[in-house]
Structure 1
C-alpha cells in the first residue's frame, strides 16, 4: 500500500441531534482509486462532506498531505488541492458550460491543452459550450460537473455517486474518464453504488456501516469473495443488477 495522502482517525460528526459518523478510520493511498462503499445511510456522503468542512467533525483528526484539515473552512480545504463533486453535482445552473469551466480554474486561465483532454473525455462539454448548464439533461450536467473537477490537476479528487441516474452510455464515458485520471497517477476517493463500476475502477476499498468503516482492503479481494460481499453489502458483485461498463466482463 502506498503512503496515505488522506487519513481520518476516530472522526465523529454530529448533525443537529444526530450522531452520523461514529469513529471513522480511513486511509486513502496516494496514486490509487479508493472506493467507499456501503448500504444507504451508512455515512459515506457525510464522510466526504466532513472532509470538505461542509460538516464539522466533532471529534477526531483529518490529515491531508501531512497537515491537519481540522478547523479549516471549505474554501481553504479546496485550496489545499482537493476537488469535490457532490451527489447534487454542484454546477452553476444560470451560467453557461463555458463559464462553469472557467470558474473551475482557480489558479488562472483554463489551460487549453487540459481543456482539450477534458472535452475528449466528455464531448458534450464542447457540444453545449455556450448553453446554460441548467438546460442540460441530468447526464450532461454530471459530465460538466466531472469536467469542472478536472479543470486543474488536484492532489485529491472526491466524487459522490457520479453514476447515479446516468444512462449506460454515460456510465461508460464516466468510467473511461476516471480510468484516464488514474493513468495520470491521480488520487481518487469515490463513493459509488454501482458495484460493476466499483469493480472496474477500484484499487482499494473501504466499506462503511452505521457510521464506521467496517472493512478495508483490496478491491480485487472483495470482488473475488462473494461471501464477504454478502456479509458487508447484502449482495455480491456477480449478482449486481447494474449493467457492467463497456469492456468489463459481467
Structure 2
C-alpha cells in the first residue's frame, strides 16, 4: 500500500531547489539512483563528478526534459516534478545546456530577443540590463547583428549565458560553461558569475574545471554512479586533498 506524501508549501526558508530521492530512467537504462540535492538560495552550488556520474541527467531531470521515474523535484518548496519544461522555465528558471542551444541561423540580437518574453522587438528590451550584459560580455555587443552560428565557441557560450540572463532569473542552471574555452574567456565567465552571485541570483553549475569550481563555489555536491555521494561547503572540499582524490580521483 502506498503512503500519501504530504504537500510541501513554499516558505522563505525553503531552499531554492531540492531533489529528494530522484530516480531517472532513459529507456532501459537506470541513470539516477535516488539523488538527494539541496541548492541554497543566493549561493552558487557546484555539481561535480567524473564523466558519466549523472550530472547532466540531473539537470535535464530538474528541467523536465527527462521525467523523474521516482522522487520529487522542489522549487522554492513547491513540487515541479511533473511540470513540463516551459512551465518550469516560467518559474524564473533559466537553463544553459552543455551544447549551449544557440540558434545558429539567427543573429545574436535575435537569440536574446527570443528569451526576452516581454519584448516583441529589440527596442522593447530592457536597455539598462542589456548594457549590463554588454559589460559582462563585450563580444555580445560586438557581434550583435552577426549570425550566432559564425561565432567562436567562447563567444557562443557568452551568448548562451547572456540569453539566460536577459531577463531577471531567480535560478540559473548551467552545464559546463567553461568547457573548451580559452583561459582569458574563462576569467570573463568567472567575473560574470561573481556579479550574478552578488546580485542574489541562485546558480547550479556543473563544471569540470576545478579551479573554476574552487573560485566560485559556495556549496558543492559530488555525484558518482547516479547518486550524490558528498555534499558540503566548496571551501572544505578544496582544502581536503584526500577527499578530492577519494571523490574525484584528482586534486584541486
- What band does the TM-score fall into relative to the shorter chain? over 0.9
Q: Is the 8 A contact 2:14 2:76 kept in 1?
A: no
Determine the structure 2 residue equivalent to 1:171: 186
Q: Show structure 2 runs of 5+ residues with no match.
A: 1-12
Moved more, 196-205 or 69-78: 69-78
**Hey, what's the Cα distance between the residues in 1 that align with 2:14 and 2:239?**
25
**Hey, what's the Cα distance between the residues in 1 that align with 2:16 and 2:151?**
35
Q: Show structure 1 runs of 5+ residues with no match.
A: 238-250
Q: Following TM superposition, by how much is the alpha carbon of 1:231 offset from its aligned partner in structure 2, in angstroms?
A: 0.3
- The answer as to 2:165 corresponding to 1:154 is no
Determine the structure 2 residue equivalent to 1:80: 91
Which among 225, 234, 239 is matched to residue 210 of structure 1?
A: 225
**Hey, what's the Cα distance between the residues in 1 that align with 2:235 and 2:24?**
30
TM-score by length of 2: 0.92
**Hey, what's the Cα distance between the residues in 2 that align with 1:117 and 1:3?**
30
**Hey, what's the Cα distance between the residues in 2 that align with 1:230 and 1:48?**
25
**Hey, what's the Cα distance between the residues in 2 that align with 1:107 and 1:64?**
23
Listed as ranges, the matches of 1:46-85 within 5 Å are 46-85=57-96
Determine the structure 2 residue equivalent to 1:220: 235
Provide the secondary structure at the position in 1 that maps to 2:167.
Answer: coil
Q: Following TM superposition, by how much is the alpha carbon of 1:86 offset from its aligned partner in structure 2, in angstroms?
A: 0.2
Relative to 1, partners in 2 of residues 1:3 and 1:220: Cα closer, same or farther, differing over 3 Å? farther
Aligned length: 236
**Hey, what's the Cα distance between the residues in 2 that align with 1:72 and 1:128?**
36
Provide the secondary structure at the position in 2 that maps to 1:231.
Answer: helix
Q: Following TM superposition, by how much is the alpha carbon of 1:107 offset from its aligned partner in structure 2, in angstroms?
A: 3.2
Which among 221, 232, 240 is matched to residue 247 of structure 2?
A: 232
TM-score by length of 1: 0.93
**Hey, what's the Cα distance between the residues in 1 that align with 2:118 and 2:22?**
31
Which among 18, 21, 37 is matched to residue 26 of structure 1?
A: 37
**Hey, what's the Cα distance between the residues in 1 that align with 2:179 and 2:207?**
8
Determine the structure 1 residue equivalent to 2:3: none
Provide the secondary structure at the position in 1 that maps to 2:16.
Answer: strand
Q: Following TM superposition, by how much is the alpha carbon of 1:3 offset from its aligned partner in structure 2, in angstroms?
A: 4.1
- The answer as to 2:159 corresponding to 1:144 is yes
Q: Following TM superposition, by how much is the alpha carbon of 1:155 offset from its aligned partner in structure 2, in angstroms?
A: 1.1
Moved over 4 A (4+): none
